[in-house]
Amino acid sequence: MKKVIFVMAMLLGYSLTLLITPTPSFALPLGEVAIFTEQSGWIAQNTAQQEGEELADLLKKPSKVVTLTDKEIGDWAKERTDNGLADIIVTFGWFPTNLYTPGNADPDDSVAELFLEGGNVFLNTADYIFYVTQGGGANGEQGLKNMMDINADMWSGGSGIKPTADGKKYTPSLGNFTSERTFKAAQIVDPWEVEAIFGDTGSGNIDPAIVHDTETGGRIGIAFQEPNNAGLPRGEVLAEMIDNFLFEVLGAQAVDPQQKATTTWGHLKSGF
């Protein structure tokens, strides 16, 4: 669901209500990172934990890095929705139940969707983002569709990936690999845009990559959506995506207090 704003104005003695869609012209500065490794999909939980620990050790630019349980992460996200910072949740192929009720029971206005639409970021490695949760693949491909509100899927098995120029610049740990679940660039449509491609097939299947909602400022990124492979530098590349790219995009930006007030006051949710 996309946010809209109701603005009250006085025009010729009448109260005029305008319904507009906010298009923030600013980027929220980089905030905190929460890493979730309590559950994982497509890689062993102890592997996810090791990669998560490596990620936490490598990160330098976020203001704080924490590792949270499913029980903790919902409240963490709620507290950081519309807080004036771009906070990040990193998952390892398993979507926490306190962010999004399994089986797409809350397709709109879930904790996760509100967090994303607050200008925040989801990054994922291993299994298909938003797909696997309690009960296995209970969300299926609809999880991504509900979170993005567009008809996007990641059925792109066996895609041979090579680093792009941006991949070599921002994610130097990235090498050639095979991705089973990529973004498909052609499916990323308005209000979403492909913001960064670090690896691609040369034919529009991209991983690692970050997509950006131009209306809400939210971002979704993936890296190595591929099953168990001990040689993949998951922690390193995720750290580079955050410290090198996202910090460049977000960290140097200053928030205009007047603009922030304009784009958050009285926001409601529309029906589309």
Indicate whether 178 pLDDT > 90. Answer: yes
Q: Are 84 and 128 in contact (CB under 8 A)?
A: no
Q: Are 115 and 99 in contact (CB under 8 A)?
A: yes
Indicate whether 172 pLDDT > 70. Answer: yes
Token pair belonging to 14? 């009448």
Q: Are strands 199-200 and 219-222 parallel, antiparallel or unpaired?
A: unpaired
CATH number 3.40.1130 is the correct assignment for the domain at 29-249: no
DSSP state of 176: -
* pLDDT greater at residue 15 or residue 175: 175
- What's the pTM value of the predicted model, to 2 decimals? 0.85
Structure confidence by residue, pLDDT tens digits, 102-125? 999 999 999 999 999 999 999 999
> What pLDDT band is residue 4 in, cutting at 50, 70 and 90?
very low
Lowest mean pLDDT among 5-9, 117-121, 191-195, 197-201: 5-9
* 102 Cβ neighbours under 8 A, 6+ residues apart: 133, 134, 135, 138, 139
Structure confidence by residue, pLDDT tens digits, 40-69? 999 999 999 999 999 999 999 999 999 999
User: What mean pLDDT do residues 166-189 have?
Assistant: 98
> What pLDDT band is residue 26 in, cutting at 50, 70 and 90?
low
The one-letter amino acid at 59: L
DSSP per-residue codes, 30-82: EEEEEEE-SS-SSS-HHHHHHHHHHHHHH--SSSEEEE--HHHHHHHHHHTTT
DSSP state of 244: I
CA triple 37-43-47, angle to 5 deg: 60
For 183, the enclosing helix (H) or strand (E) is strand 183-184
Structure confidence by residue, pLDDT tens digits, 210-265? 999 999 999 999 999 999 877 899 999 999 999 999 999 998 434 444 444 333 22
Indicate whether 7 pLDDT > 60. Answer: no
Please tell me the distance from the alpha carbon of residue 247 to that of residue 251, in angstroms, as a whole number.
5
Q: Are strands 199-200 and 192-197 parallel, antiparallel or unpaired?
A: unpaired
Indicate whether 131 pLDDT > 50. Answer: yes
Indicate whether 8 pLDDT > 50. Answer: no
